[in-house]
Amino acid sequence: MCPDSGVKGLDMAKRNGNGTVYLRGKTWWMAYFANGRRIVQSTGSEDENEAKRQLQAKMGEVAVGKVVVPNRATVADLCQLVLADYKMRELRSLKMTEWRYKCYIKDTVGSLAASRFGSTQIKQYIAMRQQDGAANASVNRDLALIGRAFKLGFQAEPKLVAQIPTIRMLPEDNVRQGFLEPDEYERLLEELPIRYKAIFVCGYHTGARKNELRRIKWEWVDLDAGTIRLPGALTKNKKPRTIPIYGDMRRWLERQRDTCPEGNVWVFHGARRLPIGCKPMYLAWTEACVRAGLPGLLFHDLRRSAVRNMKKAGLQDQEAMRISGHLTRNIFDRYNIIDEDDLADAGTRMEEYAKKRKAERAAKLKLVKKQRA
């Protein structure tokens, strides 16, 4: 490709009025005219057919007056739209999203022009993150943030990007499948420091999230009625819900009440009249799990065990979801809420059913033979 191929491409676009594609390095670019303006932009692709497809789509937008003139917006500019959107909607994931953007996206692809960000840059970003040892799940969270940024840029008025790049997520295999069995529950309860036993018991029985439990106030606990009322401001989905007090929960909640410092409003209290701290709890939890022979167990894993126990107790799916705070039935499909004992019981029931049907068929045949005789 000669040095002036880009100029020739523009001349061709002006002559035939349909635009053209041309190589610049290894990447295909497209040139076309809209509203009397010359527009040149990268397709972000090394595939000529893909570049032609993008050009045809762009020319279609020109024909109906929807063409977007590229501007100087960068990937960082688009990501700021996401952070502003999360802040406006008061999403609790704002801090994590800010952290992910600053750690992985800002200094790597943040300065790239959004109009030149396409499949090639996405592949390069994925390769770079994988070389750094990032898991597919972590890379996918980055890609989801970038994809959301481009979507908001496309929806902005005026538009900040001409199109939303196609981002294909990487395969993930990070679904945790274990359950905390009753004997394991007892072992871990024994190993945990006394100040973390109550929150562990409540997490195991209700499946509530750790950060929901940490911030429960005594004014929401009714030991006489046997309920804890969580306000919408506390829950992840911002919907209030009521969780029952049952099993070991009452004994440990009563102990928390008896040992609560005067003036402390938090059920699971830490130092200086604050809720239990995340970091010290994490360290204590990790060490206790190792001593109990359960290395790698997460507090969040209690949600799956709680839901399974509710199902075994005869609760309907919707009832279990209302207690644990799940919005959809995905937990039953994603976490496969059934274990080997459940499967063995199911096999036994099916075998009994098969024997019953076989006996019924034998009795029916016997009756038919008797009638014929």
Q: Are 222 and 320 members of one domain?
A: yes
Q: Are 146 and 200 members of one domain?
A: no
- Least confident range of 238-242, 323-327, 346-350: 346-350
Residues 6+ apart with CB under 8 A from 311: 317, 320, 337
pLDDT mean across residues, the chain: 85
14: in domain: yes
| CATH classification at residue 307 | 1.10.443.10
343: in domain: no
Q: Are 234 and 283 members of one domain?
A: yes
Beta bridge partners of 40: 31
161: in domain: no
Q: Are 131 and 197 members of one domain?
A: no
Q: Are 364 and 305 members of one domain?
A: no
Q: Are 59 and 192 members of one domain?
A: no
Contact 116, 44 (CB under 8 A): yes
Contact 25, 6 (CB under 8 A): no
Q: Which of 159, 160, 200 is CA-nearest to residue 73?
A: 160
Structural domain that includes position 290: 182-334
68: in domain: no
Parallel/antiparallel/unpaired status of strands 27-34 and 20-24:
antiparallel
Q: Where residue 158 falls among pLDDT bands split at 50, 70, 90?
A: confident
pLDDT of residue 256: 94
Q: Are 227 and 354 members of one domain?
A: no
How many domains would you assign to the chain?
4
Mean of the pLDDT values across residues 360-367?
85
- Give the whole-angstrom CA distance, residue 50 versus residue 119: 10
104: in domain: yes
Does residue 204 have a pLDDT over 90? Answer: yes
Domain boundary among 13, 38, 63: 63
168: in domain: no
What confidence tens digit (pLDDT) does each residue in 246-269 have? 999 999 999 999 999 888 999 998
Q: Are 369 and 297 members of one domain?
A: no
84: in domain: yes
